[in-house]
Amino acid sequence: MFLDFLFPNRCLNCNSIIDAENLVCEACTDQIHFTHHIFGEENELEKRCRLLFPVENAYALMQFGEESLSRKIVHDLKYKSREKVGKILAEWTAKRLDFKNEKPDLLVSVPLHPKKLKERGYNQLHLFTETLSEHFEIPYDHTLIKRNFYKKAQALKDKAHRSATEKLFSISKPVQNQHVLLIDDVFTTGNTMSSVAWEILKEGNNKVSVLVMAVD
């Protein structure tokens, strides 16, 4: 309580003092560009994923604009040691996401390389995934996917380069007959998501859907 008095929580956008469990004030919440995607219906993210791999459904919470508030929020989560931002984003997602009859069997987040994980101290997707797991009563597995390389090429832009990223990830255990929901923070080119998806799809009779915090 004393520390809260000395160092009050402030809105990420306007710097006004807000409740300790919030990210932005009520006024600035209106400036977040939520996508209003409907899981199970065609949307921008689903169409982009389908160009790269067979996807069942796709959902993005926010739009990731150049100077957008969503970019500030994700940046705080990834680079400013504010792991709790993931929990808040998951709560926002849970209020807006309805799986209907397409509820996945398993939640899997894109992993960090162990060296990157040690540098950052946490995987920005874990608390997000665990919060959604509890809300929707879907199990999660943080160890199913392994990232094999510390760095990856940033210039991979299309399907012609997919072979260059095929070994970026690998499966650590058998997985079959599962509808897997792949979770990542931001969807940009889609190469990372595609690399993970193909590893799961080639394992057996699996299906893949996608959930991201934001789509660029």
SS3 208: strand
Provide the pLDDT confidence category of residue 7 given band limits of 50, 70 and 90. low
Give the DSSP H/E element, type plus range, for residue 69. helix 69-79
Provide the pLDDT confidence category of residue 60 given band limits of 50, 70 and 90. very high
**Domains by residue range for the chain, with CATH:** 1-31 (no CATH), 33-215 (3.40.50)
Provide the pLDDT confidence category of residue 6 given band limits of 50, 70 and 90. low
182 - beta bridge partners? Answer: 108, 210
Task: Express each pLDDT in 17-36 by its tens digit.
Answer: 888 788 889 898 889 999 99
User: Which residue from 3, 8, 56, 85 is spatially nearest to 211, judged by alpha carbons?
Assistant: 56
Provide the pLDDT confidence category of residue 94 given band limits of 50, 70 and 90. very high
- Across the range 111-131, mean pLDDT stands at 92
pTM: 0.88
- Across the range 173-199, mean pLDDT stands at 96
Task: Express each pLDDT in 142-160 by its tens digit.
Answer: 999 999 987 644 434 444 5
User: Which residue from 189, 147, 191 is spatially nearest to 171, judged by alpha carbons?
Assistant: 147
Cα–Cα distance for residue pair 112/183, rounded to 1 Å: 12
User: Which residue from 34, 54, 94 is spatially nearest to 214, judged by alpha carbons?
Assistant: 34
Between helix 84-96 and helix 126-136 the angle, nearest 10°, is 40
Q: Which amino acid is at 50?
A: R
Note the pLDDT of residue 22.
84
SS3 145: strand
Cα–Cα distance for residue pair 189/143, rounded to 1 Å: 24
Cα–Cα distance for residue pair 32/142, rounded to 1 Å: 29
